[in-house]
Amino acid sequence: MNFYLLISNLTNPTLLFFILGVVAVKIKSDLAIPESSARFISLYLLFSIGFKGGQELSHSSFSMEIAYSLLFGLLVASIIPLYTFFILKTKLSIYDAGAIASAYGSVSAVTFVAASSFLEFQQLNYNGYMVAVMAFMEAPAIIVGMMLMTWYDKEQQGMKMGHVIKHAFTNGSVLLIMGSLVIGLIADTKQAEGIKPFTTDIFKGFLALFLLEMGMVTARKIDGFKKHGWFVTLFPIIIPMVNGCLAAALSGLVTHEIGNRLMFAVLAASASYIAVPAAMRLAAPKADPGLYIPMALAITFPVNITIGMPIYLAIAKAISFS
């Protein structure tokens, strides 16, 4: 089953476009996406992810389990970039450490989809509000990463914490994804259906173009990945596994559903190669996408769907707080 999941996800058209982008650069093709178009696609993806998360949350009947699950997700998405940043900055620049920490604090929607297939094969279910939890976990990681980069930036040292927080929350990428989530939450369902073709139906097409461009960017920057050696190879294997195992165990404090607990583990273990790169492209241009994209996409993603998910599921089943 794990081999099937690996093949199924690695043959996903959107990910194949990422490979096409890498190939285009390696063969010195003149293929290029205009800067203005790339910026629009980044903004679109942030808008769509936020809006759909808000819509999913609005359709869920509120309960204390939902409240605790959202809080747990927010804590996970805030703590992971906080502690990983200090590990990363021992070897990397402040900007690279902040971007990578944000990526690993945030989540991968593709890994989430793979986990749903894994649960279906295991004949286990998860609650729909977990989609909203996933969306809620995007922004905190970006905010924490932005705050840390701003706080430790030598050019901005001395800036008061209030200004750092304001800068993080008013950053265009953060404002768009959070604002879209709130709008999706309060928007009238029938009225929201009117923009569904834009927010949902064409999402994968724009995602394919985004990953095509990210593939080209990664290929141009891959030398930056190689020069850091073992550190940037082991980090995207060890840290996600630690995060996933801890989330699988501790999520039992907020939900008893095994499917939900696996999803929490996957969200904690995955790394964003959509929302965070889209945000960092706009908010932290000094961060090297040749580091955080290959780490998340080429290493962490396959590790999670091959050996990660069975381990997280076993932990969720073995540890109970009831």
Q: Give DSSP secondary structure letters for 311-322.
A: HHHHHHHH----
- Measure Cα distances from 88 to 110, 202, 228, 233, 298 in Å: 25, 36, 11, 12, 18
pLDDT digits (tens, 9 = 90+) for 84-94: 999 999 999 99
- Measure Cα distances from 306 to 10, 57, 78, 90, 241 in Å: 12, 30, 26, 30, 12
Rounded Cα distance, 315 and 265, in Å = 10
pLDDT (0 to 100) of residue 276: 82
Token output for 227 = 């020069």
pLDDT (0 to 100) of residue 59: 78
Contacts of 78 by beta carbon, 8 Å cutoff, 6+ apart = 105, 140, 141, 144
pLDDT (0 to 100) of residue 250: 96
pLDDT under 70: residue ranges of the chain: 1-10, 154-168, 171, 221-224, 322
Euclidean distance between the first and the last CA atom of the chain, given in angstroms as a whole number: 30
pLDDT (0 to 100) of residue 191: 85
pLDDT (0 to 100) of residue 265: 97
pLDDT (0 to 100) of residue 2: 54
Question: Concatenated DSSP letters for 143-194?
Answer: HHHHHHHHHH-GGGTT--HHHHHHHHHHSHHHHHHHHHHHHHHHS-HHHHHT
Token output for 115 = 């986990």
Rounded Cα distance, 303 and 305, in Å = 6
Q: Please state the domain extents for the chain.
A: 36-318
Rounded Cα distance, 59 and 169, in Å = 26
What does the DSSP 8-state code read for residue 229? T
Task: State in words which class domain 36-318 has.
Answer: mainly alpha
Token output for 259 = 């499917």
Buried b / exposed e over 52-70, threshold 16 CB at 10 Å, is bbbbbbeeeeeeeebeebb
pLDDT (0 to 100) of residue 316: 94
| Residue among 306, 260, 283 at smallest CA distance from 130 | 260
| Residue among 49, 35, 169 at smallest CA distance from 112 | 49
